[in-house]
Structure 1
Amino acid sequence: MITEIPVKINVKTTIDDQETFELVVFGRAYHKGDAFFLRYEEVLEEGTVRTIVKVATEEALILRAGAVKMRLPFRLHKKLRGSYEMPFGTFETLTLARRIEHKEGLIDIVYDFTMQGTPSGTYHLEITFQEDIK
């Protein structure tokens, strides 16, 4: 049986050490097999987006569904194809993970991001989370 823990999640994305975006949401954390998962929803102008972050040894995956559809796979030092779907079309993405760390309360991913063949910069995704005690 999978035990899900309610968590408060802080998602911080920094692009090229210049632009920073931060999001605070509530979600669930759980282990399944040798992987760790975070699941949360965010409400955007376009609608609700459901996000699942999966982390295992040297690899990670971010899946988003709903108003925004995205599949971003990561494997340490490997280029992987993904996709970003918007109302006007689907874009091919490429990620090259430079760092994937997961420890208690933290998922830390640094990666080079390319969309439709154009480099978009180096992204630092820092997800911190803690049990949400009501």
Structure 2
Amino acid sequence: MTDFNSESTPVKIHLKTTITVGEESDAFELVSFGRYYEKGDAFFLKYDEVQEEGTTHTIVKVTDTQALILRSGAVKMRMVFNEEEEMNGSYESELGTLLLTTKTKKLSHTKNLSRTEGDFNLSYELIMQGSPVGDYEMSINFKEEE
């Protein structure tokens, strides 16, 4: 396996997620420190989320047309986002594996070419086991640590 740390840059990551179910909205924010790296036509953000249940390792892979979010540890999840089509993913819990489907409404990203900073924005409807569970707005802002 490749050691990404030699080619990666330490970044500060600001993640904001807004979940809307019917008339109700909830917003969550997380500030974490992680790594940014590029491989092929994609860029990656790798960071940890520490919660009561334990630590979740998260990898976000972004290309021009698609995004992938992989989570492992306390939470195991795989979600794929593509504006052209609905994508299937999965969420593993102690109750078993649940099928997730994402209907991506908006997928965009910007990158500053002179330094390691940018953002990634995602808007999607999440469907679990065939039932809609809510609309999600996610924005990730990353900036090279000084």
Give the TM-score band, short-chain normalised: over 0.9
Partner of 1:5: 9
User: What is the number of residues matched between the two proteins?
Assistant: 133
1:33 aligns with 2:46: no
* Residues 14-33 of structure 1 mapped to structure 2, 5 A cutoff: 14-16=18-20, 18-33=25-40
Within 2, Cα distance between the matches of 1:22 and 1:118?
A: 26
TM-fit CA distance, 1:75: 0.8
CA deviations on 1:86-114 (whole Å, 9 max, x unpaired) are 12221110001111111121000111111
TM-fit CA distance, 1:20: 0.5
Moved over 4 A (4+): none
Alignment RMSD, CA only?
A: 1.5
Secondary structure at the aligned position of 2:103 is classed as strand
AA partner of residue 63 (structure 1): L
Which residue, 50, 54, 61 being the options, matches 2:61? 54
Within 1, Cα distance between the matches of 2:65 and 2:127?
A: 20
Partner of 2:71: 64
Determine which structure has more spread, i.e. the larger CA radius of gyration.
Answer: 2
Gaps of at least 5 residues in structure 1 are none
Kept in 2, the 8 Å contact 1:80–1:95? The answer is yes
Gaps of at least 5 residues in structure 2 are 112-117
Within 2, Cα distance between the matches of 1:132 and 1:102?
A: 19
TM-score by length of 1: 0.94
TM-fit CA distance, 1:27: 0.1
Within 1, Cα distance between the matches of 2:75 and 2:32?
A: 17
Partner of 1:106: 119
